[in-house]
């Protein structure tokens, strides 16, 4: 009996890890596509990785196949798909062109990509070590999938509008650094984890979901970048509003 238990503990659950592997593959493909100047395909690959990353955890919970191995594997896949892949896609598309200005600017270009990548790694490490002691309703720092959506959203939007990366290199540099800083910040972001999808909801909620799908189908790059950029900015805005309210309450 003990031998059977030890054999079972050494195994891994296949179903959720298949989704994690698919997300890992999408992130890897995004890097390969970016090195071949296929920036639209690279951006779409990161978006697919985001979807798969959201599915694997839910599948594990629904099938009761959660494990420490799955959690660690998911974190490594997230680092590749939402840390390295967006940084390299942005670098290949825009930041690498800064070396044409001067060698100093070229260094700043790849350093911005590195800042984003290491920020994603630090964000994931902090999340893993504090997951059990934090409020599930909020994230501390911008989640790495949302950060990746902002980065590749800009690449996809500009590529779709035929805007060259070299023409917006300074803006791309600023966005990359700011999004990286938000990931390791202490700014709170709503996690949407307290929403119960199994309960009944008002009819108009279904209409809102349909509207979101319609808008995304009409112009995916615009909706992706706008939606996640607003989410990224919501954290600092809400933090400032809270501080203003606290100061006003103290003065009263």
Q: What is the total count of domains within the chain?
A: 1
Asked whether residue 130 is domain-assigned, the answer is yes
In this predicted structure, the answer to whether residue 85 has a pLDDT above a threshold of 70 is: yes
Which residues constitute the domain of residue 63? 11-192+199-244
Model confidence, pTM: 0.87
pLDDT reported for residue 9: 52
Asked whether residue 251 is domain-assigned, the answer is no
Confidence of residue 132 (pLDDT cuts 50, 70, 90): low
pLDDT reported for residue 206: 77
Asked whether residue 139 is domain-assigned, the answer is yes
Ramachandran sector of residue 190 (left: φ over 0; alpha: ψ -120 to 50; beta: rest): beta
Return the beta strands (E) in the chain as ranges.
138-140, 188-190
2 or 10: which leads in pLDDT: 10
Indicate which CATH number applies to the domain containing 163. 1.20.120.1760
pLDDT by residue (tens digit) across 203-216? 666 787 788 888 88
The stretch 45-62 carries a mean pLDDT of: 87
pLDDT by residue (tens digit) across 105-119? 999 999 999 999 999
- Cα–Cα distance between 130 and 107 in angstroms, integer? 34
């Amino acid at each position: 009996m003990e031998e059977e238990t030890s054999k079972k503990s050494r195994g891994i659950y296949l179903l959720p890890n298949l989704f994690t592997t698919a997300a890992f593959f999408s992130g890897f493909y995004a890097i390969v596509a970016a090195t071949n100047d296929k920036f639209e395909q690279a951006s779409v690959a990161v978006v697919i990785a985001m979807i798969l990353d959201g599915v694997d955890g839910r599948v594990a919970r629904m099938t009761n196949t959660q494990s420490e191995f799955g959690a660690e594997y998911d974190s490594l896949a997230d680092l590749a798909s939402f840390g390295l892949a967006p940084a390299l896609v942005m670098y290949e598309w825009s930041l690498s062109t800064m070396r044409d200005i001067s060698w100093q600017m070229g260094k700043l270009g790849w350093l911005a990509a590195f800042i984003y990548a290491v920020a994603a790694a630090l964000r994931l490490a902090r999340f893993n070590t504090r997951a059990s002691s934090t409020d599930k309703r909020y994230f501390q720092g911008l989640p790495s999938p949302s950060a990746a959506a902002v980065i590749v959203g800009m690449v996809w939007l500009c590529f779709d509008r035929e805007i060259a990366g070299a023409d917006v290199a300074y803006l791309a540099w600023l966005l990359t650094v700011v999004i990286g800083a938000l990931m390791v910040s202490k700014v709170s972001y709503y996690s949407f984890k307290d929403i119960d999808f199994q309960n009944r909801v008002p009819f108009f909620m279904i209409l809102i979901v349909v509207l979101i799908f319609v808008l995304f189908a009409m112009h995916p790059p615009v909706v992706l970048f706008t939606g996640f950029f607003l989410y990224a900015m919501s954290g600092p805005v809400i933090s400032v509003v809270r501080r203003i309210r606290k100061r006003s309450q103290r003065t009263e």
